[in-house]
């Protein structure tokens, strides 16, 4: 980065004030994303995956394959013959 730490710190504080919540937990020794910051970072990825997840759910719910039913001839004659 070409920005001094004080400028970055000021930018992070300004963004947090503008959006009314903190994106980072900052201490003198570390910086970590808050849950809101993590969500803000992951939101574009999650939003772009919705069409794929939807198509997977639709595919998973569609009936497919062969259904085999073992029964006696007598039971078949009572329930399956018209």
Tens digits of pLDDT across the chain (82 residues): 566 767 767 776 777 677 666 777 777 787 777 777 777 777 887 788 888 888 888 888 888 888 888 888 888 888 876 5
Q: What is the spatial distance between Cα 70 and Cα 1, in angstroms, rounded to a whole number?
A: 70
Instruction: Give the model's pLDDT for residue 75.
Output: 85
What count of Cα atoms within 13 Å lies in the side-chain half-sphere of residue 72?
3
CA 25/CA 11 separation, integer angstroms: 14
Q: What are phi and psi for residue 71, nearest 5 degrees? A: -150, 170
């Amino acid at each position: 980065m070409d920005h001094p730490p004080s400028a970055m710190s000021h930018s992070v504080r300004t963004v947090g004030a503008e959006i009314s919540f903190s994106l980072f937990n900052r201490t003198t020794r570390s910086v970590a994303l808050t849950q809101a910051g993590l969500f803000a970072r992951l939101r574009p990825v999650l939003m772009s995956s919705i069409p794929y997840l939807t198509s997977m759910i639709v595919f998973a719910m569609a009936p497919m394959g062969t259904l085999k039913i073992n029964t006696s001839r007598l039971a078949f004659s009572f329930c399956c013959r018209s």
